[in-house]
A and B are shown apart, each in its own frame.
Chain A
Amino acid sequence: MTFRQARWDEPAVWDLTAIPPPEPAPPVSGLPEKMRRKERVRWPELSELQVLRHYTRLSQMNFGIETSPYALGSCTMKYNPRLSEVLARRKGAADLHPNQPESTVQGALEILWRLERLLAKVTGLPEISLQPGAGAHGEYAALLMVRAYFQDRGEIAQRTEVLLPDTAHGTNPASAAMAGFTTREIASKDGCVDLAALKAAVSGKTACFMLTNPNTAGLFESQILEIAETVHSAGGMLYYDGANLNAILGITHPGRMGFDVAHLNLHKTFATPHGGGGPGAGVLAAGDALGPYLPIPRIVKTGRKFRLDYDRPKSIGKIKSSYGNFGLDLRAYAFAISHGEEGLQHVARRAVLNSNYLGARLGKFLPRPFRPLVKHEFLLSGTPLKAHGVRTLDLAKRLLDEGVHAPTIYFPAIVDEALMIELPETESKRDLDEYAAAFERAVSDTPEHLHAAPQHLAVKRVDEVRAAREPTLSWKDLRARTPNHEKAAAVSSPP
Chain B
Amino acid sequence: MRALVVAPSRKLVARWISHEAGEEAGLLQALGITSTEALFTDVPKKARIGRIGIAAGLEEPEVVAQIDKILDRNRPLGKFSSFLGGRISSRYVPAAVDSILQRSEFYTSYTPYQPEASQGMLRTLFEFQSLWVELTGLDAANASLYDGATAAGEAMLLCRRLHEGRRFLVPASLPWEEKSVLRNYAVGPGLTVEEIPFDPRTGNLDLAFVRSAIASHDVFGLLADVPNGFGHLDEGLWELKSILGDVPYVVSADPLSLTVLDPPGGYGADVVVGEGQGFGIAPSYGGPLLGLFACRKEHLRMMPGRIVGATVDAEGAPAYSLTLQTREQHIRRSRATSNICTNQSLMAVAFVVYASVVGPRGLAELQVSLAEKARTLASALGGIEGIQAPRFEAPYLGEFTIELKHASAETYLERLRRRKILGGIPLADPRPGPAGGPVRLLVAATDSTTDKDIQKYARAARAAAAGGAA
Contact = CB atoms under 8 A, between A and B. Distances in A.
Interface in B114-162: 114-121, 123-127, 129-131, 133-135, 139-141, 143-144, 146-150, 157
Interface stretch (A231-239, A352-360, A384-392, A439-447): A352-360
A472 B123 CA distance: 12
A476 interface: yes
A98 B283 contact: yes
A341 B314 contact: no
B240 interface: no
Interface stretch (B206-214, B216-224, B352-360, B452-460): B352-360
Given A56-B100, A81-B16, A83-B64, A179 B106 contact: no
Contact of A475 (B77, B133, B323): B133
A87 B64 contact: yes
Interface in A459-485: 459-464, 466-468, 471-478
Contact of A55 (B36, B103, B313): B103
Contacts of B98: 89
B338 A91 contact: no
Given A31-B233, A493-B318, A474 B130 contact: yes
Interface stretch (A193-201, A283-291, A325-333): A325-333
Given A62-B121, A323-B285, 15 more contacts: A30-B396, A32-B235, A107-B73, A110-B70, A170-B331, A252-B43, A275-B107, A317-B180, A325-B287, A337-B55, A342-B8, A425-B17, A429-B26, A459-B119, A468-B326
A66 B188 contact: no
A427 B284 contact: no
Contact of A13 (B47, B147, B352): B352
Contacts of A96: 74, 76-77, 283-285
B70 A111 contact: yes
Chain A interface bracket (under 10, 10 to 19, 20 to 34, 35 or more): 35 or more
B96 A360 contact: no
A276 B356 contact: no
B313 A460 contact: yes
11 contacts: A67-B104, A83-B60, A97-B283, A111-B71, A248-B43, A277-B346, A320-B181, A327-B284, A343-B8, A452-B314, A471-B300
Nearest to A55: B100
A317 B96 contact: no
Interface in A386-424: 396-397, 400, 405-406, 408, 411
B20 A318 contact: no
A274 B286 contact: no
A314 interface: no
Interface string A80-103: 110101011111111111111101
Contacts of B332: 170, 174
B333 A338 contact: no
Contacts of A77: 108, 110
A358 B85 CA distance: 51
B108 to A, nearest CB: 4
Contact of B312 (A36, A347, A466): A466
A2 interface: no
